[in-house]
């Protein structure tokens, strides 16, 4: 209304010269109008307030997509990814809030705002689970992929907007929409992860902030998995950025961060789905996810996920077959004590992934494209394969000691083994290569026992949220293996030599091969840590924590000689600090952090000085946005690594520990819902990594394990949310990575070209079924991993899912 005042003034001025009387009357009218307008605004601002709050489920998670309605004024709001809702400029008075979820009975709460209490917070608990809320969000729209609330990241309940650390979440909803059939494809949604490096037994390493990062964390604790991971039991993947030793230790995280696999847990209603996928290269995949209460009062719950998977390579040879089953059981012993037992078992048979070592010609630069290796030749044979087994057992006992304090006891046990043949390709000249075959038996055994106390307390008016814990982690592995070499062949025209590579030809060679039997890993870590989040004000939060690790490495044991090599002990401290200031409460925050990581190092220098652990120190700052339509994180980081060993220039065969490395860069993540039904996930990273002080051969150069300096990812999907076509949707996206090096020294460089891979999907999602069609690599881009494995060309996958 106030905007009308200058317009009326201009109107009066126009007539001033023509009619003074009219001007007088209009001026008088203007004066009266303005006084009434100011009074109205004053009265309006003095008689309105706001009602806000958070909707949570009965299992303690954020209730996204829930409709909250003020009955008296017929005004509605939909909760965001954090479960928050807000009504502004509500006239003073008493109100009834109706909380509604599709398919569930509504509940009501009351609120009253007045001059004495113009701002009221009403938190609501709904009797549902995250699983039920997913259907609500799918049907009503909303920022479906913005669910970032996590217990594992900070080992305490802490919202993303309150956390000074950066992390990414890839939800199972996003993986379903993209018709993900293998674990590595999910990392297309992780900024900076790059193309997965798949090692001999199918285990995966990805990039985080310029550092190779293995997949060894499950449900927030150690779970050393030496074989492939099936995505059927994934609730989400949490990518925690930066050195994270304070809460997770050095054996589970790299200097770039860690990847945490969060598994599906049971909930208190009967629900399930059965799914079948078929794709190019004879992919057949069957999965089932069934959840049910086991008793009438729903204190005992069971959920079972299972998968059968089989496919062949797009190349002339290569295959993988997998069976996995993952039961999860929870039991509410009483209103304070809850037991959760979660397990995964799998059997896997496959040919080993491609691994190629290029031929180095001193003083030259080359690349995988220049070799012109036939893209569809594997130089493998299906009879030369391996089998693997794994189990992961996770048991958690939660005891509510009081309203403020909870005890969490966790036991994680893992075993993964690989038996059979693995193959590596080695170039012998610019035009020839040979197959190198290893026969091995290699079981790994891991145990992680963790005790946490999570609580809330106040010092004066200052709120503290704290976790204090003790951790025991052990890893033991044995190996019994031998390696044989096949004759070199012309890789462009291999001829009959290509046919001589099969198990009948290779197996007799191991009769005279030298086998080595030894204990390759035997290590134990004892840790204690504490982390505190302090609310200095309702907008300013400070985080601080420290960890102490006592690491015992019992060395490599050779039974034939009854000798141990490389045993040592080390103790390390890892602190962290962080600040968050919410510019707009619970919506926009600026943050900064200092984080530390370390890596144990064996050996000593020429003078007998025992080496210290490598140390990584990160300084980071940025912004976080958690708005209804947009969730975003922008950050700049600088990681300095010290205590790196390098060749001693004065003493041959010895090392000194004064090397340094820097990894710094910018990261951006965006999760948006600009209009109803349209959802966007996007990311961009720039990483500048180099050895600042090192051996002369790599001094000042980028580490080959740092991946692409620039990466980008995008997924945009539109889903019809109303009308007869409700549930019909399309998706489009892709990944980009700039050129990087497989070998990068002053003497020889070998490059991997940049890549842009585009994907698209079409889907129809209904309460009782889902149909999906996905095309990966639409443009048939040729691209390679760090190990120079050729990646899949254009692939079509169809999926049908029945829900009940």
DSSP secondary structure letters along 108-149: EEEEEE-SS--EEE--EEES--HHHHHHHHHHH-S-TT----
Among candidate residues 199, 234, 263, the one where a domain is terminated: 263
Q: Are the CB atoms for 199 and 212 separated by under 8 Å?
A: no
Phi and psi at residue 453, in whole multiples of 5°? -120, 120
Instruction: List, in sequence order, every residue forming a beta bridge with 197; answer none if it has no partner.
Output: 205
* Pair 395, 452 in one domain: yes
Return the DSSP state at 7.
Answer: H
Say if 4 falls within a structural domain: no
pLDDT of residue 107: 79
Say if 33 falls within a structural domain: no
pLDDT tens figures, 688-721:
999 999 999 999 999 999 999 999 999 999 999 8
Strands lying side by side in the sheet with 75-78: 75-78, 67-70, 93-100, 107-113
In sequence order, which ranges of 641-719 are alpha helices (DSSP H)?
none
Say if 15 falls within a structural domain: no
Q: Residue 283 CA to chain centroid, in angstroms?
A: 26
Q: Residue 804 CA to chain centroid, in angstroms?
A: 29
Q: Give the count of domains, the chain.
A: 3
pLDDT of residue 203: 86
pLDDT tens figures, 778-795:
999 999 999 999 999 999
Check whether 30 has a pLDDT greater than 60.
no
Residues 780, 169, 162, 630: is their CA dihedral positive or negative?
Answer: positive
* Pair 155, 250 in one domain: yes
Q: Once rounded to an integer, what is the mean pLDDT over residues 235-255?
A: 94
* Pair 187, 233 in one domain: yes
In this prediction, what percent of the chain has a pLDDT beyond 90? 76
- Tokens 């912004």 belong to 623
Residue ranges making up the domain that contains 239 = 133-263
- Higher-pLDDT residue of 442 and 731 is 731
Q: Which residues of 662-700 are buried (b: 16+ CB within 10 A; e: fewer)?
A: ebbbebbbbbbbeeebbbbbbbbbbbebbbeebeeebee
Residues in Cβ contact with 66 at an 8 Å cutoff, skipping those fewer than 6 apart: 55, 78, 79, 83, 85, 99, 100, 101, 126, 133, 136
* Pair 511, 533 in one domain: yes
Neighbours of 196 (CB within 10 A): 24
In this prediction, what percent of the chain has a pLDDT beyond 70? 91
Say if 96 falls within a structural domain: yes
Say whether 217 sits in a helix, a strand or coil.
strand
pLDDT of residue 671: 96
Instruction: Report the alpha-carbon angle 526-155-525, nearest 5.
Output: 10
C-alpha to C-alpha distance for 351 and 384, rounded to whole angstroms: 7
* Pair 90, 116 in one domain: yes
pLDDT band of residue 13 (cuts 50, 70, 90) is very low
Phi and psi at residue 201, in whole multiples of 5°? -95, 15
Check whether 182 has a pLDDT greater than 90.
yes
Among candidate residues 126, 155, 180, the one where a domain is terminated: 126
Among candidate residues 81, 103, 126, the one where a domain is terminated: 126
Check whether 2 has a pLDDT greater than 80.
no
Residues in Cβ contact with 619 at an 8 Å cutoff, skipping those fewer than 6 apart: 592, 593, 594, 637, 638
- The H or E element containing residue 12 is helix 4-15
pLDDT of residue 10: 43
pLDDT band of residue 310 (cuts 50, 70, 90) is very high
CATH number, domain at 209? 2.170.130.10
Residue 284, token pair as written in the block: 């057949």
Check whether 295 has a pLDDT greater than 70.
yes
Q: Which residues of 374-386 are buried (b: 16+ CB within 10 A; e: fewer)?
A: eeeebbbbbebbb
Residue 304, token pair as written in the block: 């079972």
pLDDT of residue 82: 74
Say if 31 falls within a structural domain: no
* Pair 525, 611 in one domain: yes
Per the document, the length of the chain is 804
Identify how many contiguous H helices and E strands the chain contains and give both numbers. Answer: 7, 45
C-alpha to C-alpha distance for 801 and 769, rounded to whole angstroms: 5
pLDDT of residue 143: 82
CA 79 → CA 174, 437, 583, 781, distances in Å? 20, 57, 21, 41
Q: Once rounded to an integer, what is the mean pLDDT over residues 604-609?
A: 91
pLDDT of residue 125: 81
- Tokens 């039920």 belong to 132
Q: Are the CB atoms for 780 and 376 separated by under 8 Å?
A: no
Return the DSSP state at 791.
Answer: P
- Tokens 């990087």 belong to 740
pLDDT of residue 147: 83
Return the DSSP state at 610.
Answer: B
Say if 2 falls within a structural domain: no
Residues in Cβ contact with 301 at an 8 Å cutoff, skipping those fewer than 6 apart: 266, 267, 268, 291, 292, 293, 294, 329, 330, 331
Q: Which of 471, 345, 329 is nearest to 397 (CA)?
A: 329
Check whether 648 has a pLDDT greater than 70.
yes
Pairing assessment for the beta strands 356-357 and 405-429 based on DSSP bridges:
parallel
Say whether 186 sits in a helix, a strand or coil.
helix
Q: Are the CB atoms for 673 and 651 separated by under 8 Å?
A: no
CA 324 → CA 20, 82, 171, 308, 489, distances in Å? 91, 33, 20, 7, 39
pLDDT band of residue 133 (cuts 50, 70, 90) is low
Neighbours of 500 (CB within 10 A): 16
Q: Once rounded to an integer, what is the mean pLDDT over residues 548-575?
A: 94
* Pair 375, 465 in one domain: yes
pLDDT of residue 20: 45
pLDDT of residue 722: 87
pLDDT band of residue 65 (cuts 50, 70, 90) is confident
C-alpha to C-alpha distance for 762 and 772, rounded to whole angstroms: 6
* Pair 671, 703 in one domain: yes
Residues in Cβ contact with 519 at an 8 Å cutoff, skipping those fewer than 6 apart: 476, 477, 478, 556, 557, 559
- Higher-pLDDT residue of 258 and 83 is 258
Say if 7 falls within a structural domain: no
pLDDT of residue 137: 56
pLDDT of residue 141: 62
* Pair 280, 255 in one domain: no
- Tokens 């204690």 belong to 528
pLDDT tens figures, 441-484:
989 999 999 999 999 999 998 999 999 999 999 999 999 999 99
* Pair 479, 510 in one domain: yes
CATH number, domain at 67? 2.60.40.1120
Check whether 48 has a pLDDT greater than 90.
no
* Pair 142, 78 in one domain: no
- The number of C-alpha atoms within 13 Å of 28 and in the hemisphere containing its C-beta is 5
Q: Which of 541, 536, 535 is nearest to 590 (CA)?
A: 541
CATH number, domain at 720? 2.40.170.20
Q: Which of 621, 745, 650, 753 is nearest to 691 (CA)?
A: 745
pLDDT band of residue 88 (cuts 50, 70, 90) is confident
* Pair 329, 433 in one domain: yes
pLDDT of residue 42: 41
- The H or E element containing residue 389 is strand 386-400
Long-range contacts of 38-44 (CB under 8 A, 24+ apart): 40/1, 41/1, 41/2, 44/89
Q: Which of 182, 122, 582, 202 is nearest to 386 (CA)?
A: 202
Say if 18 falls within a structural domain: no
């Amino acid at each position: 209304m106030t905007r009308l005042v200058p317009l009326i003034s201009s109107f009066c001025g126009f007539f001033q010269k023509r009619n003074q009387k009219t001007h007088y009357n209009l001026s008088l009218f203007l004066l009266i109008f303005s006084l009434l307008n100011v009074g109205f605004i004053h009265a309006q601002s003095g008689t309105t307030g706001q009602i806000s709050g958070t909707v949570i489920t009965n299992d303690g998670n954020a209730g996204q997509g829930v409709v909250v309605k003020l009955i008296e004024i017929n005004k509605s709001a939909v909760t965001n990814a954090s479960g928050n809702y807000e009504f502004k400029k509500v006239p003073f008075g008493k109100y009834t809030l109706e909380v509604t979820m599709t398919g569930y009975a509504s509940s009501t709460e009351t609120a009253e705002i007045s001059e004495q209490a113009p701002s009221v917070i009403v938190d609501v608990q709904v009797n549902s689970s995250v699983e039920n809320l997913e259907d609500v969000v799918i049907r009503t729209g909303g920022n479906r992929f913005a669910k970032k609330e996590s217990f594992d990241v900070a080992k305490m309940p802490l919202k993303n907007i309150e956390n000074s650390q950066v992390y990414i979440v890839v939800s199972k909803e996003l993986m379903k929409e993209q018709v993900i059939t293998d674990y590595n494809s999910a990392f297309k949604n992780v900024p900076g992860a790059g193309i997965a490096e798949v090692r001999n037994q199918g285990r995966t390493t990805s990039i985080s902030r310029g550092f190779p990062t293995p997949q060894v964390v499950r449900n927030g604790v150690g779970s050393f998995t030496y074989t492939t991971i099936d995505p059927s039991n994934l609730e989400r993947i949490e990518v925690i950025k930066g050195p994270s030793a304070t809460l997770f230790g050095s054996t589970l995280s790299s200097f770039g961060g860690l990847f945490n696999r969060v598994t599906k847990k049971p909930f208190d209603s009967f629900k399930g789905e059965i799914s079948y996928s078929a794709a190019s290269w004879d992919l057949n995949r069957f999965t089932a996810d069934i959840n049910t209460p086991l008793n009438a009062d729903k204190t005992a719950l069971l959920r079972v996920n299972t998968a059968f998977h089989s496919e062949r390579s797009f190349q002339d040879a290569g295959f993988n077959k997998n069976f996995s089953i993952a039961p999860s059981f929870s039991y509410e012993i009483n209103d304070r004590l809850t037991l959760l037992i979660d397990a995964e078992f799998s059997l896997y048979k496959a040919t080993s992934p491609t691994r190629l070592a290029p031929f180095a010609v001193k003083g030259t630069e080359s690349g995988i494209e220049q070799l012109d290796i036939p893209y569809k030749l594997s130089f493998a044979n299906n009879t030369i394969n391996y089998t693997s087994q794994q189990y992961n057992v996770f048991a958690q006992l939660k005891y509510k000691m009081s309203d403020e304090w909870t005890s969490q006891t966790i036991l994680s046990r893992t075993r993964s083994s690989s038996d059979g043949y693995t193959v590596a390709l080695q170039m012998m000249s610019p035009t020839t290569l040979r197959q190198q075959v290893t026969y091995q038996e290699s079981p790994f055994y891991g145990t992680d026992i963790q005790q946490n106390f999570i609580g809330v307390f106040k010092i004066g008016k200052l709120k503290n949220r704290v976790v204090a814990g003790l951790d025991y982690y052990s890893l033991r592995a044995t190996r019994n293996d031998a390696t044989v070499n096949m004759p070199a062949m012309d890789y462009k025209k291999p001829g009959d030599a290509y046919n001589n590579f099969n198990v009948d030809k290779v197996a007799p060679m191991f009769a005279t091969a030298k086998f080595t039997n030894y204990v390759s890993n035997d290590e134990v870590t004892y840790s204690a840590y504490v982390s505190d989040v302090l609310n200095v004000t309702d907008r300013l939060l400070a985080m601080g924590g420290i960890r102490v690790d006592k690491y015992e490495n019992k060395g490599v044991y050779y039974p034939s000689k009854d000798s141990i090599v490389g045993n040592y002990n080390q103790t390390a401290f890892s602190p962290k600090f962080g600040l968050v200031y919410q510019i707009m409460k619970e919506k926009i925050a600026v943050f900064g952090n200092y984080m530390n990581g370390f890596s144990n190092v064996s050996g000593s220098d020429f003078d007998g000085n025992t080496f210290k652990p490598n140390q990584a120190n990160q300084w980071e700052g940025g912004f976080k946005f958690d708005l209804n339509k947009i969730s975003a994180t922008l950050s700049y980081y600088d990681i300095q690594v010290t205590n790196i060993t390098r060749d001693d220039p004065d003493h041959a065969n010895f090392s000194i520990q004064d090397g340094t490395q820097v990894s710094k860069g910018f990261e951006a993540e965006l999760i948006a819902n600009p209009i109803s039904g349209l959802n966007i996930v996007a990311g961009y990273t720039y990483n500048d990594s180099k050895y600042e002080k090192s051996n002369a051969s790599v001094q000042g150069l980028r580490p080959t394990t740092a991946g692409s300096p620039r990466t980008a990812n995008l997924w945009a999907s539109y889903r019809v949310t109303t009308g007869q076509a409700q549930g019909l949707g399309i998706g489009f996206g892709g990944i980009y990575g700039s050129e990087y090096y497989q070998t990068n020294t002053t003497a020889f460089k070998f490059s991997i070209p940049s890549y842009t891979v585009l994907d698209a999907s079409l889907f129809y999602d209904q309460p009782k079924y889902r149909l999906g069609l996905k095309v990966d690599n639409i443009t048939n881009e040729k691209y390679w991993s760090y190990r120079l494995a050729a990646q899949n060309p254009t692939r079509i996958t169809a999926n049908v899912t029945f829900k009940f």
